Amino acid sequence: MELKMKGRIFQGSYVQTVLECIVGLQKALEILDLDGGNIILVSDGMENEAPFIAEVKGNVVDAGVKVHSIAITQAADNKIDGIARESGGKSEDKIIKVHDGSVSTTSGNDRFFISPDVSMDTRVISEYQGSPNVEFYLESSSGQQYGPGSAEYSCQKKSNICVFEFSSIKTGSWTYFVRTTDGSSASASVTVVGKNPSTTIRAIEAEVYWHLSAIDDIDVGTETIQTIHATVSQGYLPVVHVDVTVTVERPGNDGPVTLVLLDNGVGADIKKDDGIYSGFFSAFTAPGRYGSVVSVESTSGSAISGHSTLGIDRESSAASASGFQSSSAPDVPTGEFQRSVSGQSFQLMAFTGQGQVIYSPARISDLTVKDFNNNDRSVTLTWTAVGAELDTGTASQYEIRYANDSTSLRSSFDQQRIVVQDTIVNGADQNKPKDAGQTEVFIIVLPEGYLVYYLAVVAIDNNRSENASSPVSNVVPVHLEHPLVMTLENKTETDWADSMSNKTETGWIGSTSFIASMTLALLVVVIFISVVMYFRIKIRSQHYDLQTSDQQRRTQIHENVLSPQTSKSTGPPKVSNATHPPTPTSPAETFTIQID
């Protein structure tokens, strides 16, 4: 398979791309059938079956063919670099696509950004159409301009390709534009690639893949839903808070469509902030092959996550079982960067539902109770808006319903009590949903009579022959007497026990009223305990005083009985004994004591 490569290649070369290394090498040698020549060997994986590289390396060297190797992922076998060295070729590894764009003589300038991890062996490749009298120009952020006459610039008129090559390029923002020497019009596609100069710090990379590689048929009511996912990471560390868009090339005459992929744990995305950005795809046009190109742009909040692993929550039971250790390492800002990556394609075999709206609105999966007020029984609900078809467009209306048990909402949602517009007190309107992806906030007042309510919501699209409703959202309970509100994130419609893992975890939300109520309750308890302790100590003290007084009184009586004194006595009292009772000194001092 002969290819026209977007870039400068060796004069007189035959270009062969191979993913199965040895089979490709053998085929290339057969096609060349000459002494000398060049083979470009592209690999994205490891040797896994015979024949192996070592078995054909001698044939390559004997034929005088130079093998130039390109490793396009970290998984590529290091042996391809060895055959490049021994055959006198070059080894290219870790080539990262920075930017895919286009420019014309009428469109003005476009830009790309070079981050430090792609600043080595950087190439800006322009493949043009139209006038052959084209000239391409680059300009750095400092104003330095490159173009015809620059050592870095060259063109191959036969291939309609012009290339800027930098062994080391200045980091920062660059602009590019095209001109023609004869004033005619021209346009070009522009690709920017580079390599990481560091051997210790990994570059940020992106990949894209479809959930289904082939679909038999798409028709109204089908349960087959296609999703697309892009990973952005530095090694195994997720890169979070970046803008990810995918351009899908479609068969037919409708042209490409651009989608936004999100890492927010809603809709097609399973886990928030795990470095996997996801979206539904419903823009089918015709049977055929659908390709994808993903563009990644940093934001001011973009960071390399220090507390999770790509696609894995380190705090989850699955992570623990896999041996991953939880980490509290801080996120590291990425700085500005760009990436572009061409992904795999998928094949649609048939499209029975062509020309019709295929899918209902997507299920709302993040219904949350943000706050509530026991005094007026108001509850603040939030969720992410879905579209008229999955997460595309705008739904026509919402229905919020409530019941006294969650089972009724899930099994017979339409039969439960509905929230009417008059009970929505913050101005939100059930008949005016926001565009897909925006945050909805509804404050509703629940009726008297019950302490616990369960709420759920559905989105409805009325703009079709038959109204289409989304599946029932996750159910949230609200306890209006106990100031404690729970949010159940139930992405799989399972019961309470099943909801305790991954996305079906139960969250506990403390509101302002909850904190105030708990503080007041704690204060009352403290006062009550203090009062009880005070009176208990007081009573015991009085009881002790009574006991002491009584003992003193008994002692005094005892002393008076055993040692009587008169006003005539001047010395110490005489103590009698059992055998010699005291002798009275006069009849007036004689006492008769009778003891029972």
Q: Judge if 209 and 345 occupy the same domain.
A: yes
Q: Do residue 422 and residue 511 come from a single domain?
A: yes
Distance, in Å, from the CA atom of 173 to the CA atom of 192, rounded to the nearest integer, reads 13
Q: Kindly report the number of other CB atoms within 10 A of residue 439's CB atom.
A: 10
pLDDT of residue 517: 63
- pLDDT of residue 15 exceeding 80, the answer is no
Task: Give the residue with greater pLDDT, 158 vs 516.
Answer: 158
Domain of 86, CATH number, reads: 3.40.50.410
What value does the mean pLDDT take over residues 365-382?
91
Cα separation, 581 vs 563, in Å, equals: 11
Q: What percent of the chain has pLDDT over 70?
A: 67
Is 74 buried (19+), middle (13-18) or exposed (0-12) by CB count in 10 A? exposed
Q: Per the structure block, which two tokens stand in for 363?
A: 């299920």
At residue 500, the pLDDT reads 35
Residues 374 and 508 in one domain: yes
Which SS3 state, helix, strand or coil, does residue 189 take? strand
Residue 561 has pLDDT above 50, yes or no: no
| Cα-based distances in Å from 204 to 10, 114, 278, 336, 513 | 30, 12, 18, 11, 45
Q: Which of 165-179, 358-372, 563-577 has the lowest mean pLDDT?
A: 563-577
User: In the structure, what pLDDT confidence band is assigned to residue 166 with cuts at 50, 70 and 90?
Assistant: very high
CA dihedral 276, 277, 278, 281 (to 10 degrees): -130
Q: What angle do CA 262, 100, 232 make, to 5 degrees?
A: 35
In a domain, 573, yes or no: no
DSSP annotation of 54 reads H
Residue 323 lies in a domain: yes
Question: Tens digits of per-residue pLDDT, 478-514?
Answer: 987 644 444 444 444 433 333 333 333 333 344 444 5
Beta strands in 364-426, from DSSP E residues, in sequence order:
368-373, 378-384, 397-403, 417-418
Q: Which of 195, 218, 242 corresponds to the end of one domain?
A: 195
Can you give the CATH number for the domain in which 436 is found?
Answer: 2.60.40.2060
Last residue of a domain, one of 195, 223, 248: 195
> What per-residue confidence (pLDDT) applies to 421?
93
Question: Does residue 137 have a pLDDT over 50?
Answer: yes
| Two structure tokens written together for 399 | 């229905």
Axis-axis angle for helices 21-32, 53-62 (nearest 10) = 20
* The pLDDT value given to residue 486: 46
How do 303-304 and 332-333 pair as beta strands? antiparallel
Taking the alpha carbons at both ends of the chain, their separation in whole angstroms is 133
Query: If DSSP codes are grouped into helix, strand and coil, which group holds residue 159?
Result: coil
Flag whether 48 is in a domain.
yes
In one-letter notation, the amino acid at residue 9 is I
Q: What percent of the chain has pLDDT over 90?
A: 47
Helix ranges (DSSP H) in 383-464: 406-411
Do residues 57 and 81 both lie within one domain? yes
Residue 525 lies in a domain: no
In a domain, 544, yes or no: no
Mean pLDDT computed over 446-460 = 90
Give the pairing type, strands 120-130 and 368-373. unpaired
Regarding whether 224 and 179 lie in a shared domain, the answer is: no
Domain that includes residue 320, residue range: 204-350
Q: Does 244 lie in the same domain as 136?
A: no
Domain count, the chain: 4
- Decide if 347 contacts 215 (C-beta within 8 A): yes
Distance, CA of 173 to CA of 154 (rounded, Å): 22
Task: Assess whether 152 and 233 both reside in one domain.
Answer: no
* pLDDT recorded at residue 547: 59
pLDDT in tens, 580-595: 444 444 444 444 444 4
Does a structural domain hold residue 555? Answer: no
Q: Could you tell me which of 327, 331, 162, 314 has the C-alpha nearest to residue 240?
A: 331
Structure tokens at 239: 């890169």
Question: Does pLDDT of 331 surpass 50?
Answer: yes
Kindly report the CATH number assigned to the domain that includes residue 262: 2.60.40.1930
pLDDT(256) > 60: yes
Mean pLDDT of 439-452: 89
Which residue, 287, 288, 268, 286, is CA-closest to 276?
268
In the prediction, which pLDDT does 1 show?
34
Query: In this predicted structure, which of 22-26, 142-146, 201-205, 233-237 has the lowest mean pLDDT?
Result: 22-26
Instruction: Find the mean pLDDT for residues 354-369.
Output: 93
Asked whether residue 510 falls in the same domain as residue 379, the answer is yes
**Mean pLDDT value across residues 443-466:** 89
At 318, the pLDDT band (50, 70, 90 cuts) reads low
What are the distances in angstroms from CA 1 to CA 15, 28, 313?
Answer: 8, 9, 43
Token pair in block for residue 85: 């060295």
What is the arithmetic mean of pLDDT over 366-384? 91
Q: What is the pLDDT of residue 451?
A: 80
pLDDT(123) > 60: yes
What pLDDT is recorded for position 19?
37
The answer, yes or no, to whether residue 158 has pLDDT greater than 50, is yes
* Torsion angles phi and psi, residue 546, rounded to 5: -65, -40
pLDDT value, residue 79:
59
Task: List for the chain the helix, strand, coil content (%; round to 5).
Answer: 20, 35, 45
Mean pLDDT of 449-460: 90
Cis before 51? omega within 30 = yes
**Could you tell me if residue 586 is inside a domain?**
no
- In the structure, what pLDDT confidence band is assigned to residue 530 with cuts at 50, 70 and 90? confident
Taking residue 53's Cβ as centre, other Cβ atoms within 10 Å add up to 19
105 & 50 share domain: no
Give the integer Cα–Cα distance in Å for 224 and 281: 11
Examine the fold and report which residue of 515, 535, 559 is the final residue of a domain before the chain moves on.
Answer: 515
Strands (E), 411-505: 417-418, 439-445, 452-461, 468-469, 476-479, 484-488
Does residue 1 lie in a domain region? no
Q: Are residues 414 and 473 in the same domain?
A: yes
Using alpha carbons, list the distances in angstroms from residue 476 to 10, 268, 421, 450.
Answer: 65, 21, 20, 15
For residue 545, how many other CB atoms are within 10 A of its CB? 10
| Whether residue 155 has pLDDT greater than 50 | yes
Pair of tokens at residue 94: 């870790």
pLDDT reported for residue 536: 72
- List the alpha helices (DSSP H) in 15-78: 21-32, 53-62
Q: Please state, rounded to an integer, the average pLDDT across all residues of the chain.
A: 78
Name every residue whose Cβ is closer than 8 Å to that of residue 377 and which is 6 or more positions away in sequence. Answer: 445, 446, 447, 448, 480
| Mean pLDDT within 282-307 | 93
Does one domain contain both 392 and 509?
yes
Residues 104 and 222 in one domain: no
Interval 215-244 mean pLDDT: 93
